[in-house]
């Protein structure tokens, strides 16, 4: 059992919430020492909100169309998130570009999962872009959030091989369960206080990472 207090986590999601569900399931199984204090969405009818409600987690839905601009929306959203007093924010399929001023106070305390081997393919259509480039492998990354789109320091990745008959849909479907594993594992490391972002870079178990952790090779690569 961890000697640390359970990590208080807020999650943001825009869609079906499969990554969120993976986190909830891991928590319920005792594999993830966190307490979810809030799940917020920019889509009032997002299935992710229903998943949170079924799990007894407080929810928040804010419609961006009700705000003058992105900065106003993000300022209100993150003010409400802060009121829930999370230690960490997890973007689990949150499909909005975030205002730099709103996320600045959360540096080192906000994670995002992205379906590519960053720095390859930030943004959208990652599976199609990997196939168009004839990449032999594809994957997912968990990174700290900065004001650069999908450009924050990468903590960990998982890789899968592409196949000659892959479509963007089949590649996405094969990657998704590995995404879930990656997000759960990375959040568990953070909850156990094994990972931190410093001025020098990402520290894992007290050593500076030379490259992102590989989910399938737990040996740390440090410099």
Q: Quickly tell me which residue has 């600045």 as its tokens.
A: 104
- What is the rounded CA–CA span in Å between residue 192 and residue 186? 10
Q: Is residue 61 part of a domain?
A: yes
Indicate if 114 belongs to the active site: yes
Q: Is residue 11 part of a domain?
A: yes
pLDDT of residue 100: 95
Structural domain that includes position 19: 7-214
Average pLDDT in the 148-173 region? 97
Question: Phi first, then psi: what are they for 192, rounded to 5°?
Answer: -85, 5
Q: Is residue 179 part of a domain?
A: yes
DSSP 139: E
- What is the rounded CA–CA span in Å between residue 83 and residue 60? 12
Q: Quickly tell me which residue has 């594992």 as its tokens.
A: 185
Q: Is residue 18 part of a domain?
A: yes
Q: Quickly tell me which residue has 């440090």 as its tokens.
A: 222
- Residue 219 scores a pLDDT above 50: no
Q: Is residue 115 part of a domain?
A: yes
Q: Is residue 44 part of a domain?
A: yes
Instruction: Indicate yes or no: pTM above 0.75.
Output: yes
pLDDT of residue 221: 43
67 within 8 A of 73, measured Cβ to Cβ: yes
Total number of domains in the chain: 1
Q: Is residue 221 part of a domain?
A: no
Q: Is residue 53 part of a domain?
A: yes
Whichever domain contains 149, its CATH number is 3.40.50.170
Convert the pLDDT of each residue in 72-119 to its tens digit.
999 999 999 999 999 999 999 999 999 999 999 999 999 999 999 999
Q: Which of 45, 114, 127, 138 is catalytic?
A: 114
Taken as a whole, the chain contains a residue count of 223
Convert the pLDDT of each residue in 120-154 to its tens digit.
999 999 999 999 999 999 999 999 999 999 999 99
């Amino acid at each position: 059992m961890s000697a640390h207090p359970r990590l208080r986590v807020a999650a943001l999601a825009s869609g079906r919430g499969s990554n969120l569900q993976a986190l909830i399931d891991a928590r319920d199984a005792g594999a993830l020492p966190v307490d979810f204090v809030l799940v917020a969405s920019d889509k009032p009818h997002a299935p992710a909100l229903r998943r949170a409600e079924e799990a007894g987690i407080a929810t928040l839905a804010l419609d961006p169309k009700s705000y003058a601009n992105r900065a106003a929306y993000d300022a209100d959203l993150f003010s409400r998130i802060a009121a829930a007093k999370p230690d960490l924010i997890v973007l689990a399929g949150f499909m909005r570009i975030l205002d730099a001023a709103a996320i600045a106070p959360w540096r080192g305390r906000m994670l995002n999962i992205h379906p590519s081997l960053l720095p390859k393919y930030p943004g959208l259509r990652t599976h199609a872009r990997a196939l168009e480039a004839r990449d032999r492998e594809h994957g997912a990354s968990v990174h700290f959030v900065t004001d650069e789109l999908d450009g924050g320091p990468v903590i960990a990745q998982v890789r899968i091989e592409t196949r000659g008959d892959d479509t963007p849909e089949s590649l996405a479907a094969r990657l998704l369960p590995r995404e879930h594993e990656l997000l759960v594992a990375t959040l568990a490391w953070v909850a156990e206080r094994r990972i931190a972002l410093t001025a020098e870079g990402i520290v894992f178990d007290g050593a500076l990472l030379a490259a992102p952790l590989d989910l399938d090779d737990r040996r740390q690569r440090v410099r």
